[in-house]
Structure 1
């Protein structure tokens, strides 16, 4: 389980295709601290560390992950938001995040608000977005507003802009979306026949 509070960004150093799977080598300031078999959020996708060596860690994305997230679009040199699993005695500074991508969205607009950035996203299909509710974008816990079917906005503060890959996004960028887990369960319960 994660909280959507990004620890650092990691740089894609190498990409290797292994059948339907893709192995990624990622360098970051936390890579040497990781352990094999540890779960780490990469742009909101929970991936298992398979190797750690010399400031680089490796993870494998299976075909299902590649189809349902933006990880399959990653290129050498791209930056990915990284977060290790939450410690049992840790604080919930964000919200409950599983690392299971529900959808992708396209960045439709970026507006500099003189100290923050207003970003407007369009979901690939309607989802569980609630006005003033939590949403996880590329592994980052944010509050959404101006929700209208597939469109919603988020405000990015300078700290988040500087220390995540939001500063790399441009209009047309595809991002990973995880809807709030509580909302997903409520939706499931209310829609059971």
Structure 2
């Protein structure tokens, strides 16, 4: 009978000193650091499943069944060519994220899943969107953009000043918080190398709150 292996690590063979070490394997986590952009090339629907075809330069490196974050949503690569890849989405995901409003030709933030032997540049991101927010204002100060977002009152408990948050898959820091409204300052590099370059007032965005913040709030709400 085959032994069960922990999904986060595997036992390597003993070294010459007789020690056994744990070696990290792949995970389904992300960092919120966008490494590539894609373009929505096609949308197909069949038997309650929507298939998005996304063109990107990183398509040749992808693998079938690989997890990839698209606009902050963890999806699975079901097929790919050297030019594009396909992901399948069900109605629940379409209704709880911005995916139901996607249009052909729009740009998309992409991030492949984190390997546990990589450095963590952003913060731990699951790709499980907590809800949709709205861009309420964009203020320009020299080369920087101060972008205000608004979320529901229910989501406001997870908005923590100077905490981490993921907006459309991008790891960001909360600069100011005013109830369900919060402001993020976006530096020129991030603005130019993500889909934020096309952001405007009224746009909907995918929001994922920091997993540690969500856990703490969840526990506190259940304390007597």
Higher mean C-alpha deviation, range 15-24 or range 171-180: 15-24
Larger Rg: 2
Shift of 1:56: 0.4
1:5 to 2:33 alignment? yes
1:178 to 2:208 alignment? yes
Higher mean C-alpha deviation, range 87-96 or range 41-50: 87-96
d(CA) in 1 for partners of 2:140 and 2:126?
Answer: 31
1:106 to 2:134 alignment? yes
Shift of 1:170: 0.7
Shift of 1:29: 1.3
1:149 to 2:179 alignment? yes
Aligned length: 193
Shift of 1:25: 0.3
RMSD between superposed Cα atoms in Å = 1.0
Unpaired stretches in structure 1, ≥5 consecutive residues: none
Q: Following superposition of structure 1 onto structure 2, how do residues 1-193 of structure 1 map, counting pairs within 5 Å?
A: 1-127=29-155, 128-192=158-222
Shift of 1:21: 2.2
Assess if the C-alpha contact under 8 Å between 1:107 and 1:173 holds in 2.
yes
Assess if the C-alpha contact under 8 Å between 1:106 and 1:124 holds in 2.
no
**TM-score if structure 1 supplies the norm length?**
0.97
Higher mean C-alpha deviation, range 140-149 or range 96-105: 140-149
Q: Which runs of 4+ in 1 moved over 6 A?
A: none
Higher relative contact order (CA 8 A, sep 6+): 1
